[in-house]
Structure 1
Amino acid sequence: MKPVAIVQQIHHDTPDYFTDFLDSENIPWQLFRMDQGDELPTTIANFSGYCMLGGPMSVNDEAIYPWLSTEMQLVKEAYELDIPMIGHCLGGQLIAKGLGATVAPVPMPEIGWCQIQIHDEKEASEWFGGENPAKLFQWHGEGFQLPAGARLIASSAHWQNQAFLINNKHLGMQFHCEVKEDKVKHWSIEERAEIESVQHHASVQSADEILASLAKSIPESNRIAHRIYSRWIQGLIRA
């Protein structure tokens, strides 16, 4: 089986539970570290799937981070070759923009644990293990519109476009279902000033609230991620 290509944009936004899951299913993967200057593949055809992680940059900052353009070229190729894609936060925005949709600032940033409402009970069961709403972690100030052919499957109270599906195979997410405790702890401590700068929004939890929640919320999040990833890998090219 060909590996799943995983693109990590920055040092502190790691694959976390996604690679734990792939390992548990004996699915090979290859990590491309943009923060370490790795070269992206010239074609996605050598991979069974394509995963993009998050990052603090804007998807529109292609002049500053030229590899974003390359990632979006791979998005177009993956779509044409029907190679399953999954995007987490910035990764979901890269799928959306790579397929022609707009990504722009949202009215209210979302930081912390958020109730994600799944629109269809069949998709709630199929993709989220019946969790509806599903409590998942957020950290974003921009959001995607839907690319052509996409179906909106999840929303939150503060931003409608939380997850979309294309051909029941390509999944773009605004939330971070992949997180484990160390990553969220790092963000909450090292980026506390950013949290406090937008604390006046009802959509933002305090750093202390986030830290206090980890023991309970991370296992719940990982359980939902397991169901999302279990469904996503059904589309992987197994040859």
Structure 2
Amino acid sequence: MLDLSPKPHRPRPVLVVLHQETSSPGRVGQILQAMGLALDIRRPVLGDPLPDTLEHHAGAVVFGGPMSANDDEPYIRREIDWLSVPLGENRPFLGICLGAQMLVKTLGGTVTGHADGWAEIGWYPLRATEAGATLMAWPDMVYQFHREGFDLPSGATLLATGQHYENQAFRYGDNAWGIQFHGELTLAMMHRWVVRGAHRFELPGAQAGRLHLDGRLLHDAALRMWMTSFLDRIFHET
């Protein structure tokens, strides 16, 4: 007998783009799943294709990685070009660190290192702009792990600033967002980053490994709450 009963609604998954074999969506993935959204995880660096349309997705999140948005690797170029899909379809998009820098490149901006060679690796102050403060409350301290930043693309709205790297968060249009800092790290992820990235602690401006974990005790609760509210704002209508 034909079953004509209503089928339960299944929300479209969020496309998650990661850049290493062992990378994880971490807390961002946990929050999205708690919101009832499934994850469609792709790793272009390992040959995973990206969809020609986001019609069947609730949006996309592109995460960070040790590579640069300025690299000439074919998958980097393809990924930057692919960002025209969420932009063209006006689908919810979030770029985190490298993902934000890729978005900047797609929008015609530039990604460069600090003029004085400073890195941000550890916990650093964040200040909301007037536009950012109107949008939502922001954490005072955020976790960073980068030595390149970006200029503000034409037409974008700056939402938060930092000391060494001025542009920390921005919005472009209705649905495209970029943040330079990391709100996705679980405790286990931070332990891995501190161990595997220890060679970077010698860079100018970088903090010693113990300060990463000590800072987490002080600042992570506020960052976690902000990340939850931020993802709800981006994906709440999906």
Same fold (TM over 0.5): yes
1:35 Cα deviation from its structure 2 partner? 4.8
Counterpart of 2:4 in structure 1 is none
* 1:192 counterpart letter in structure 2: A
Counterpart of 1:136 in structure 2 is 142
Counterpart of 1:38 in structure 2 is 48
* 1:123 counterpart letter in structure 2: G
Residue 191 (str. 1) matches residue 191 (str. 2):
no
| Whole-angstrom CA distance in 2 between matches of 1:50 and 1:218 | 24
Residue 179 (str. 1) matches residue 179 (str. 2):
no
Q: After the TM superposition, which segments of 4 or more aligned residues of structure 1 sit over 4 Å from their partners?
A: none
| Whole-angstrom CA distance in 1 between matches of 2:22 and 2:209 | 17
* 1:163 counterpart letter in structure 2: A
Counterpart of 2:93 in structure 1 is 85
Which residue of the other structure, out of 60, 68, 71, is the alignment partner of 1:50?
60
| Whole-angstrom CA distance in 2 between matches of 1:56 and 1:178 | 16
| Whole-angstrom CA distance in 2 between matches of 1:92 and 1:230 | 18
Counterpart of 2:5 in structure 1 is none
- Matched ranges for 1:165-176 at <5 A: 165-176=171-182
| Whole-angstrom CA distance in 1 between matches of 2:111 and 2:210 | 30
Larger Rg: 2
1:112 Cα deviation from its structure 2 partner? 0.5
* Greater CA drift, 32-41 or 184-193: 32-41
Instruction: Name structure 2 gaps, 5 residues minimum.
Output: 1-10
- Listed one character per residue, the Cα deviations across residues 174-197 of structure 1 (whole Å, up to 9, x for unaligned) are 11111111111111112111212x
Instruction: Name structure 1 gaps, 5 residues minimum.
Output: none
| Whole-angstrom CA distance in 2 between matches of 1:48 and 1:134 | 30
Counterpart of 1:68 in structure 2 is 76
Aligned length: 226
Contact 2:194 2:209 in 1 (8 A): yes
- Listed one character per residue, the Cα deviations across residues 6-34 of structure 1 (whole Å, up to 9, x for unaligned) are 10011454211111111111012201023
Supply the RMSD in Å over aligned alpha carbons.
1.9
| Whole-angstrom CA distance in 2 between matches of 1:181 and 1:167 | 33
| Whole-angstrom CA distance in 1 between matches of 2:16 and 2:83 | 12
Residue 17 (str. 1) matches residue 27 (str. 2):
yes
| Whole-angstrom CA distance in 1 between matches of 2:21 and 2:181 | 18
Contact 2:171 2:178 in 1 (8 A): yes
1:221 Cα deviation from its structure 2 partner? 1.9
Which residue of the other structure, out of 99, 105, 110, is the alignment partner of 2:113?
105
- Listed one character per residue, the Cα deviations across residues 77-107 of structure 1 (whole Å, up to 9, x for unaligned) are 2111101110100000011111211111123
| Whole-angstrom CA distance in 1 between matches of 2:212 and 2:86 | 36
| Alignment TM-score, normalising by the size of structure 1 | 0.87
| Alignment TM-score, normalising by the size of structure 2 | 0.87
